[in-house]
Every structure is written in structure tokens, then in C-alpha cells.
Amino acid sequence: MSKICPKCGKELPDDARFCMDCGYTIDKQESGGLLNNFPLPTLFIVLIVAILIIGGVFILSSGSGDNNNAPDRTDEVTHAVDLTIAGVGGWDSDSGKKSYTLYTEGIFNSVPGNLKGYNVKTTYYDSNGSEIGHETEKLENVYYDTEFSISFGYYTTYKLPDPDHVKVEIINGGKVIDSYTEQIDTNKIDYLN
């Protein structure tokens, strides 16, 4: 028998203590939190790698030149959200009518101090640029303080989607203040392999 991740739905081995897909701690009650899931040397290495990755992203995003993921900063709104899209995953369900779910993983490098009024709209597109579907969520329901990527933008359909790219928009006051687009690596989507 296998465990199912309560956050992303990924099937896991019985002895799994965290989800290998989204990083969610499975044994929160028993383990006392994420730090107890790793031996100290492993945790130290993970923290150093995370700091190096975040530092590299910061250096790349602050450098000169065009950046396809850089948000349009031509309006007067303060851009308080900095997001790195880590990838898109997906799974299918055989229970009842066959369904297909897509979700986005992202690292929120910075967020505003007050999350109220901010929404995250995640839209999935096919290779023709046609919308497959989208999900809009409150940022305060998506974001939590972590060094790992956060899964959000869960979209389920009964028609087999063929995703090509994802667009994540940060909305405040009904206005898009940040936008990030990323090509989808279909190798990370279970039902396409």
C-alpha cells in the first residue's frame, strides 16, 4: 500500500516522510516539522544549495539585458512579488470519470508584507497559444514561508490537455502588476509519459 501526498496527490512509498514532488512533509504530527526529516549534514547542504540558487536567481534577475520572465514594470504599482517558476507537473485520475490535473511549482523570492488583495492567476496554454484553462487564487492562500517551491494553480479537466507553456499573473486591485511565463517540460507530467 502507498501513501498519497495530501498537498499534490502524488503516490508515495509507505515509508515516505516527505513528498518527492512538492516537498510537503507527510509525517508532520510525528516528525515535528521539516527540519527533523533530514540528518544535519544533509540539511546543511540543502540550505547552502538553496542560498546559492536564490542568490544566482537574484544576480541574474538584476543583471542587464532582456529577461523573458521579467515582469513589465511600466506602471506605477509597486511590484512586491518576485516569483521563479520551477516547473509544471500533472497527474491523471482513474477514479470515476478520467480526469487530468496540472499544477505549477514556484519559488516566491519576495512577497509584500500584507498579502491581502493580491491574487495569483495561473493559465495553461497549448502550443497554438490557446488557453487550456486557468485557476485564480488568493496569494494569502498560496504562499507560506519556505525555501522550497510551492505548488499552486491546480487545474483539472476531463479532456486530455497538451500543455506548452504557463503564465502566472500577480493581480492587485483588479490590475496585473507582475507576469511570469515559462515553457512546460512535459517530462514532469505523468500522463504524458
Sheet containing strand 131-138, edge to edge, reads 131-138, 118-125, 165-172, 175-183
Please give the residue that has the higher pLDDT: either 137 or 32. Answer: 137
What are the residues whose beta carbons fall under 8 Å from the beta carbon of 161, sequence distance 6 or more? 100, 102, 124, 126, 132, 133
Q: How confident is the model over 49-108, as pLDDT tens digits?
A: 888 888 777 777 665 444 444 444 444 445 678 999 999 999 898 777 889 999 999 999
pLDDT confidence of residue 38: 52
What rounded mean pLDDT belongs to the chain? Answer: 81
Q: How far apart are CA 69 and CA 85, in angstroms?
A: 9
pLDDT confidence of residue 61: 67
For residue 17, what are the CA distances in angstroms to 2, 10, 45, 58, 146? 12, 13, 19, 31, 17
Confidence of residue 29 (pLDDT cuts 50, 70, 90): very low
Selection from 180, 165, 162, 11 nearest residue 82 by Cα: 180
Q: How far apart are CA 120 and CA 154, in angstroms?
A: 12
pLDDT confidence of residue 37: 53
pLDDT confidence of residue 165: 96
Looking up cell 547552502 gives 48
Please give the residue that has the higher pLDDT: either 183 or 30. Answer: 183
For residue 80, what are the CA distances in angstroms to 58, 73, 114, 140, 171? 14, 11, 10, 14, 11
Mean pLDDT of 143-168: 93
Domain ranges of the chain: 3-62, 82-192
What is 82-192's CATH number, 1.10.3860, 2.60.40, 1.20.58, 2.40.128?
2.60.40
Long-range contacts of 61-68 (CB under 8 A, 24+ apart): 68/181
Selection from 62, 103, 104 nearest residue 82 by Cα: 62
